[in-house]
Structure 1
């Protein structure tokens, strides 16, 4: 179905309840805890190689979208679940009475949306449509569709040229189109109540999605830096999470996402190493403004810094935003532009002198760019070179081996492959390095929004 036809369909649906609203939240700090449940996931191949290849492919696809976003059409604790498609989910309650909906936690985007209405349709989503949890606006007394005159429609319109009310009647509901690495979603803007225990946030701006392509059976909770994100709408001073170690399968285990509101001091959380967020190297109307940039100074393999050209480490101070590093919970494997990756791969190969790189025909069955043959040996018994990311301010992200190497069996060969990927078609566009969630596993990480800094410490995230 063409995008224009879909937008026409959404305008017809806009005959549902319409009301103008403005974004507002209470200012008093609140503490509350929410029980959460995992979401339905799309079917994954039983073959581990296919699963890993799928995750590598999705990481590269998402990186293309993050690098070229316009190229194509007080204290809250919540559980965070890992899933086989590479993301982490949270559950939130929207509406009056509340309806529980699952969302992917995404620091690389800002809009918040959920599958919505009984007319919701998802193509290429590899899931039984009847199993997709839906939000039903007519069952909520607090649902109000945002019309085209509402200022919030203009906010969403600035995100994507396909969104907003160009050429439409001002009494109609405000349509949007959000593009992601793995597909897109279309819908109408909604004002709703976000329901936490002992605390309600009224007039929360959320997308009521009616049509999606290649999306998970959940919504997406954008934790980016622009006004429509969940942290911005709730007035968070910081948020933190600890991602459990993924075994590339679904699990009922969870960890915590913590949201902080109200007053916040400049004091640092004990045990955390901090690096300042870099001011986004772009103008206010640029698509890159929602990303969390950090100043990566060095990548160290073993004890030796890798020689990386300066232009890749520091983003250009213009609307192109080329270069630099961003932190993204929605990307599975860290991605690097090819010159950076090649330098890191060369350094790792030099440190892995006792092991040969896997032959081209063996590696061809994977989507990883660097694998070593360890046939006859156990992964746990091998001494791997250390891999460290050093940031401005002296903060060092010293990765455990499981965060950057994964054992892979291909035929009669046993390999270890680097879970950092690249693509020769990237080009020097957008962020040069996207720090994915695999490399963040078993670290407590903190996005201190008030003090504009990123903190982390090594920590076992799985609950016993």
Structure 2
């Protein structure tokens, strides 16, 4: 299955019913079922966002905007566990401020268009923007951007009537970017994340912000302490590289089976500083590597490696005689009663990537997560077949920087910060340092911990 650059395929993914089952993923990004997992895992963010906006008495989708001087675009509250959500002005006369989810696994930038529905869902009104322009089916841009789309007639819009490609002005800080291509999508089912937020694609695909703005480097920090230190930033052209965090490590970004996605090579897993034995050599020998995601909280590890990791953790935890053997026979999960687990000395875990000393030491609270309302603390690493994905939970609390070039690029990840700690690249207000964001600085507010689906 080809990487999803088609608007029609995107719609299929968005309209698919959420998959709440916990079976191993049998076909990873960009396979359909995998996207269903991603949507299901964070769709509750939508409901909380709407409730909080109503409580604040906000009458429209713009919310409270920061001044242009500090180059911040609003504060979008998100009860998330890794989703980066920010406000972005779209259109002119005047701009309409809409919330977008940063997604590094998709190339399309899209927003829900049309008249607002019965819920408080942010909706873009094309007829109120003087700079809005649908892309026609006969436009060369349509065939270039959607080569497999078949036009019913030359006067049709590129993509159909209920979902189509268009151009408009997007404003980053005080800088307008004219002629940005994005998807304008009609009604999306309520209570789905995508009925509340648009998507800001940061993949390598031709429609992404990375490609349209010629971004050479982007960074993000997901605060794991319920604070306001989270940010997304990017640089264009040949801007000077920002200073690295002390203790930062780098690994090559690979060009995998799906060239629009970001891959890194995992070479092993450590528990308490020791490399796990018993993982078949071919487990990590694939050329594609591990896919990186900012919208899927849970990490998926190839089943052969997952089984060894799960058994090692289970053995070392049970040896302490603090908790009993998990009652569930499901070997695809590892959960313990939260009250008993609080006394456990949890073994440390690190993912070892290709490169000189490129081990990512994980925060315990991110790989053993207290699932609110369940009384359970569960391992946030799950088994998969067909590939592995590094989810957003394991990325929280550290700077993640992507330097992109045609041959692949480099991923640089900082050391894990203490809960609520300050990212080295951020200022006190949560925005990245000026040297790191030549065009835009986006601050977000993340509140971790209400809902997580395993």
Say whether the fold is shared (TM-score over 0.5). Answer: yes
Identify the structure with bigger relative contact order (alpha carbons < 8 Å, sequence gap 6+). Answer: 2
1:454 is the counterpart of 2:422: no
Give 5+ residue unaligned stretches, structure 2. Answer: 1-6, 12-17, 37-69, 430-454
> Which residue number corresponds to residue 168 of structure 1?
152
Compared CA separation, residues 230 and 129, structure 1 to 2 (3 A): farther
1:277 aligns with one of 230, 236, 253:
253
2:333 aligns with one of 357, 366, 369:
369
> Which residue number corresponds to residue 405 of structure 1?
368
Counterpart mapping for 1:241-320 below 5 A: 241-245=220-224, 253=228, 255-265=230-240, 269-271=244-246, 272-280=248-256, 282=257, 288-306=258-276, 307-316=278-287
Cα distance, 1:60 vs structure 2? 7.2
2:391 aligns with one of 420, 429, 436:
436
Cα distance, 1:85 vs structure 2? 7.5
Cα distance, 1:67 vs structure 2? 4.7
Cα separation, 1, equivalents of 2:316 and 2:19? 24
* Per-residue CA distance 1:143-162 (angstroms, 9 max, x = gap): 0100112233234425xx6x
Cα separation, 2, equivalents of 1:289 and 1:81? 32
SS in 2 for 1:130: coil
Cα distance, 1:292 vs structure 2? 0.4
Cα distance, 1:356 vs structure 2? 3.4
* Per-residue CA distance 1:287-333 (angstroms, 9 max, x = gap): x22110001111111222223334332334xxxx5xx2011001111
Counterpart mapping for 1:42-191 below 5 A: 57=20, 64=27, 66-69=29-32, 82-84=78-80, 87-96=83-92, 97-118=94-115, 129-158=118-147, 164=149, 166-175=150-159, 187-191=163-167
SS in 2 for 1:315: coil
Cα distance, 1:347 vs structure 2? 1.6
Q: Is the 1:187–1:211 Cα contact (8 Å) retained in structure 2?
A: no
Q: Which moved more, 1:98-107 or 1:58-67?
A: 58-67
Cα distance, 1:378 vs structure 2? 6.2
SS in 2 for 1:331: coil
Cα separation, 1, equivalents of 2:372 and 2:239? 49
Cα distance, 1:346 vs structure 2? 1.1
1:226 is the counterpart of 2:205: yes
Cα separation, 2, equivalents of 1:114 and 1:447? 25
Cα distance, 1:225 vs structure 2? 1.0
> Which residue number corresponds to residue 336 of structure 1?
301
Q: Is the 1:336–1:434 Cα contact (8 Å) retained in structure 2?
A: yes
Compared CA separation, residues 176 and 326, structure 1 to 2 (3 A): farther
Q: Is the 1:358–1:415 Cα contact (8 Å) retained in structure 2?
A: no
Cα separation, 2, equivalents of 1:403 and 1:305? 20
Cα separation, 2, equivalents of 1:237 and 1:83? 30
Count residues with an aligned counterpart.
362
Cα distance, 1:77 vs structure 2? 5.5
> Which residue number corresponds to residue 211 of structure 1?
187
Cα separation, 1, equivalents of 2:351 and 2:341? 27
Q: Which moved more, 1:400-409 or 1:133-142?
A: 400-409
> Which residue number corresponds to residue 448 of structure 2?
none
Cα distance, 1:267 vs structure 2? 7.4
Cα separation, 1, equivalents of 2:299 and 2:34? 21
> Which residue number corresponds to residue 19 of structure 1?
none
Q: Is the 2:341–2:377 Cα contact (8 Å) retained in structure 1?
A: no
Cα separation, 2, equivalents of 1:230 and 1:295? 25
Give 5+ residue unaligned stretches, structure 1. Answer: 1-5, 11-54, 121-127, 178-185, 283-287
Q: Which moved more, 1:139-148 or 1:306-315?
A: 306-315
> Which residue number corresponds to residue 451 of structure 2?
none
Compared CA separation, residues 56 and 417, structure 1 to 2 (3 A): farther
Q: Is the 2:403–2:409 Cα contact (8 Å) retained in structure 1?
A: yes
Cα separation, 2, equivalents of 1:400 and 1:421? 17
SS in 2 for 1:290: coil
Cα separation, 2, equivalents of 1:339 and 1:62? 13
Cα distance, 1:65 vs structure 2? 5.7
Q: Is the 1:300–1:389 Cα contact (8 Å) retained in structure 2?
A: yes
Cα separation, 2, equivalents of 1:147 and 1:222? 22
SS in 2 for 1:245: coil
